[in-house]
Structure 1
Amino acid sequence: MKRRGLFFLQLGFTLFVCAFLIVPMILSIMAGLTVNYFVGIESGLTLRWVMEVWNGYRDTIFLSIGLALACLAATLVLGIPAAYVLAKRQNALTRAIEELLVMPVAVPGLATALALIVTYGSLSGFRTSWAFILVGHVLFTLPFMVRSVLAVLMAIDLKTLEEGAASLGAGFWERFRDIVLPNCRQGILAGSLMVVTLSMGEFNMTWLLHTPFTKTLPVGLADAYASLRLEIGSAYTLVFFIMIVPLLLAMQAFAKPRPAKFVAEETE
């Protein structure tokens, strides 16, 4: 009886925490769908504010999607080989490099953005382009790709697999393509979804790096709340949720470990 009471107490606390986190988001979404937020749902439901966001801010949405995809491509090209080298050569130097890769995550985004401006701010064409924001996003998200792939590579006997392939005549690129990439696929998928999600939602660094012509979705969201009526800002939040929530769900689904039997079958 006591254990049953403890269970319901824990369940009630969990539901309270979930409500504490979810209810504000629901109210924010509803504000973007009501005719007048201050009157409430009695004023009626409408998609007018969503359409105003789309008509006035769709450039920020497309820019965020483009930046996220470009950031993903850059982190794949840089992160997978880096994780491979770190997994292959475990020594003091590679451990130090691994720790340095995490620095952009530990340092506040505003500090990283300021460092980029001080270093490259004199390059006017580069400073005012979306590529400048991309550099910041890559610096911020690269550790997540490297760590995701590295965790998978460290969990398998990579040395034995490569030696077996080499004994059958496989060259370096064949081993990398046919052995390394398939075995770290789970880490690549998890890292990719994390990179895209973080890039689309990154605000602190982007706020300092952006120009009036390179506003991303989070920066536009902040501007909407600061300068427009609440309903439009809330509709902007709804658009952001529609884009980001499926990515978060997919990231959790792909991050789940696969059954050992399935992994063994793939490596045979």
Structure 2
Amino acid sequence: MFNFRGLLKYLLLGMFIIYLLLPMALIIIGSFGKKWFGTPFPEGVTLEWFQEVFSNVMFTRALWMSLFIAAMTVAMNLLIGIPAVYAIYMSHSKMLQRFFDSVIILPIAVPPLVMGMGLIQAYNWPSFSLVGTWQILLAAHCVFTLPFMIKPIMANLHLIEWEKLNEAAESLGAGAWFKTRQVLLPNLFPGIIAGALMTFAISLGEFQLAVLLSGSLTQTYPVALYQAFYFSTGFACSATSVLLVAAVLSLWGLTLLMKFMGIKREELGM
């Protein structure tokens, strides 16, 4: 019997995958093309666009700045997020829980454009200004991505039923430092890695805050990438491909880390 519903499901799934992958495929093809103007596909094959990207000081500096900001954002959010989530979880306070829920929806409720304009007004004084520095860009990325770090960690705490583990550890005479190092953090690794992955990916590709707050020496790669489209199609495609490769390598590195720690993808909900 012909299964029309199953065929329709796979057809829609295939169309969705093509919709997602086709732009990336065209970007990669365009990065190797000599000329692409008025034709469905680029003409010729060349590597000169990649050579131009990596020889361009502005783009190499922007790439390192993006990687630095993304890595620092992950580190800062871990330092802030783990103690904050633990305190809220152990407090059993409904008011703190409501505050936690409001922080979770912050990136949706407050657009990056509004957040960036507010930071400019708050930290741009005649005698003192942080606008254009990497410090304010890092602070903005931390605020914007913090919910994506703390939500998986909170979910992980509920999943492992930390209160029971905590009572069991205390009944065996474990101290606070031992519980944190040997019990809490190992059980939180799935949530920490999931939050770190989302935080790093969002920070690496964030554009609106970066274009408002960065300066000429602190531009991130998405800002430089936006400017690349004013040079040439091939140059812009190769610059975009570099960002794609950086994201794939980051994901690959995360996969190796997960295997090293013995964490399965299913534990992260991936």
Same fold (TM over 0.5): yes
Residues 1:243 and 2:242 are matched in the alignment:
no
Aligned counterparts of 2:216 and 2:68: Cα–Cα separation in 1:
17
Indicate the residue corresponding to 1:48 in structure 2. 48
**Cα offsets for 1:212-238 (capped at 9, x unmatched):** 11110100111111x211111111110
Q: Is the 8 A contact 2:72 2:138 kept in 1?
A: yes
**Cα offsets for 1:128-184 (capped at 9, x unmatched):** 311110001000111111001110101122112111211222222221222211111
| TM-score, normalised with respect to structure 1 | 0.88
Residues 1:231 and 2:234 are matched in the alignment:
yes
Find the partner of 1:63 among 62, 65, 87. Answer: 65
Q: Is the 8 A contact 2:123 2:129 kept in 1?
A: no
Instruction: Rate the CA distance shift 1:255–1:126 in 2: closer, same or farther, 3 A.
Output: farther
Q: Is the 8 A contact 1:197 1:248 kept in 2?
A: no
Q: 1:242: Cα distance to partner?
A: 0.4
Find the partner of 1:256 among 238, 256, 265. Answer: 265
Aligned counterparts of 1:41 and 1:131: Cα–Cα separation in 2:
42
Indicate the residue corresponding to 1:78 in structure 2. 80
Find the partner of 2:113 among 110, 113, 118. Answer: 110
Indicate the residue corresponding to 1:192 in structure 2. 196
**Cα offsets for 1:55-111 (capped at 9, x unmatched):** 111000011111111111101100111111222223222212202322531210011
Find the partner of 2:210 among 202, 206, 211. Answer: 206
Aligned counterparts of 1:155 and 1:59: Cα–Cα separation in 2:
42
Identity fraction in percent: 30
| TM-score, normalised with respect to structure 2 | 0.88
**Cα offsets for 1:242-261 (capped at 9, x unmatched):** 011344567798783349xx
Instruction: Rate the CA distance shift 1:124–1:26 in 2: closer, same or farther, 3 A.
Output: farther
Indicate the residue corresponding to 2:9 in structure 1. 10
Instruction: Rate the CA distance shift 1:108–1:42 in 2: closer, same or farther, 3 A.
Output: closer
Q: Is the 8 A contact 2:29 2:42 kept in 1?
A: no
Most deviating of 5-14 and 66-75: 5-14
Residues 1:121 and 2:124 are matched in the alignment:
yes
**Cα offsets for 1:195-218 (capped at 9, x unmatched):** 111110011111111111111010
Instruction: Rate the CA distance shift 1:103–1:8 in 2: closer, same or farther, 3 A.
Output: closer
Q: Is the 8 A contact 2:63 2:221 kept in 1?
A: yes
Equivalent residue pairs, number: 257
The DSSP-based 3-state class of the residue aligned with 2:130 is helix
Residues 1:94 and 2:96 are matched in the alignment:
yes
Q: Is the 8 A contact 1:137 1:199 kept in 2?
A: yes
Aligned counterparts of 2:40 and 2:128: Cα–Cα separation in 1:
48
Structure 2 spans left out of the alignment, 5+ residues: none
Aligned counterparts of 2:182 and 2:22: Cα–Cα separation in 1:
48
The DSSP-based 3-state class of the residue aligned with 1:126 is coil
Aligned counterparts of 1:20 and 1:40: Cα–Cα separation in 2:
17
Aligned counterparts of 1:157 and 1:21: Cα–Cα separation in 2:
38
The alignment yields a C-alpha RMSD, in angstroms, of 2.2
Instruction: Rate the CA distance shift 1:2–1:90 in 2: closer, same or farther, 3 A.
Output: farther
Indicate the residue corresponding to 1:22 in structure 2. 21
Q: Is the 8 A contact 1:34 1:40 kept in 2?
A: no
Q: Is the 8 A contact 2:149 2:195 kept in 1?
A: yes
Aligned counterparts of 2:48 and 2:213: Cα–Cα separation in 1:
31
Aligned counterparts of 2:267 and 2:16: Cα–Cα separation in 1:
30
Aligned counterparts of 2:189 and 2:159: Cα–Cα separation in 1:
13
